[in-house]
C-alpha cells in the first residue's frame, strides 16, 4: 500500500505541475473563463497539500485525494459538456477544450489519481473512523 501511496503522491504533484503549466500558458482560459482559472489554482494547491499529507502518511490523504480528483474530473467534464464562455458558442468552447492536449492530459491524470487513491484507501475502515469522529464531535440539540 505504501508503494501505491508514493505513486499517488507523484501523480498529485504531476497534476499540480500540469495545472501550473495550464494556468501560466493558457491566456484564453483567463480571458474566456477566469473563474475556472482560479478554480484550477485551487486544485493545484489541493494537489500539493494532498501530496504532502501522503508523505506524512496521513490516513486521510488517500480518501481526500479520491474526493478531490473526482470533483476536478467532474468539473472538467462539465466544462466539456455544458460550459459556455462569454461571446463563444458552447460547441466552439468544447472543440477548444477537446483539442487542448494539456487539458486532456490533466483530465486523464485525474482518472489515474482516482484509481490510485481507490487502490490505497481502505474505504470501509476510513468510513468507520470518519463516522465515529462525527458522532463523537456532533452536538445536536433536540429542542
- Domain assignment present for residue 11? The answer is yes
Q: Which residues contact 32 (CB under 8 A, 6 or more apart)?
A: 85, 86, 88, 93
What's the total number of domains in the chain? 1
CB 50 within 8 A of CB 72: no
- Domain assignment present for residue 104? The answer is yes
Surface-to-core class of residue 131, CB atoms within 10 Å of its CB (0-12 exposed, 13-18 middle, 19+ buried): exposed
Q: Which residues contact 46 (CB under 8 A, 6 or more apart)?
A: 68
Residue 78: give the domain boundaries. Answer: 2-137
- Domain assignment present for residue 143? The answer is no
- Domain assignment present for residue 33? The answer is yes
- Domain assignment present for residue 86? The answer is yes
SS percent in the chain: helix, strand, coil, step 5: 85, 0, 15
pLDDT at 101 over 70: yes
CA distances from 103 to 20, 70, 73, 142 (A): 12, 16, 11, 49
Q: What is the pLDDT, as a whole number, of residue 106?
A: 97
Share of residues in the chain with pLDDT > 90 (%): 53
3-state secondary structure of 121: coil
pLDDT digits (tens, 9 = 90+) for 67-89: 999 999 999 999 999 988 777 78
- Domain assignment present for residue 105? The answer is yes
Q: What is the pLDDT, as a whole number, of residue 123?
A: 59
Q: What is the pLDDT, as a whole number, of residue 129?
A: 67
Q: What is the mean pLDDT of residues 33-45?
A: 95
- Domain assignment present for residue 70? The answer is yes
Looking at the whole model, is its pTM more than 0.85? no
- Domain assignment present for residue 106? The answer is yes
pLDDT at 63 over 90: no
pLDDT at 143 over 70: no
Amino acid at each position: 500500500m505504501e508503494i501505491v501511496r508514493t505513486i499517488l503522491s507523484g501523480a498529485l504533484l504531476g497534476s499540480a505541475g500540469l495545472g501550473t503549466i495550464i494556468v501560466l500558458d493558457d491566456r484564453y482560459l483567463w480571458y474566456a473563463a477566469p473563474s475556472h482559472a482560479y478554480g484550477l489554482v485551487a486544485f493545484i494547491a489541493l494537489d500539493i497539500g494532498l501530496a504532502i499529507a501522503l508523505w506524512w502518511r496521513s490516513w486521510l490523504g488517500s480518501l481526500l485525494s479520491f474526493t478531490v480528483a473526482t470533483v476536478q474530473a467532474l468539473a472538467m467534464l462539465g466544462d466539456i459538456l455544458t460550459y459556455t464562455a462569454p461571446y463563444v458558442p458552447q460547441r466552439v468552447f468544447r472543440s477548444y477544450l477537446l483539442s487542448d492536449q494539456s487539458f486532456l492530459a490533466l483530465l486523464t491524470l485525474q482518472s489515474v489519481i482516482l484509481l490510485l487513491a481507490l487502490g490505497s484507501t481502505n474505504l470501509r475502515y476510513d468510513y468507520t473512523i470518519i463516522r465515529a469522529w462525527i458522532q463523537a464531535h456532533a452536538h445536536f440539540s433536540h429542542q
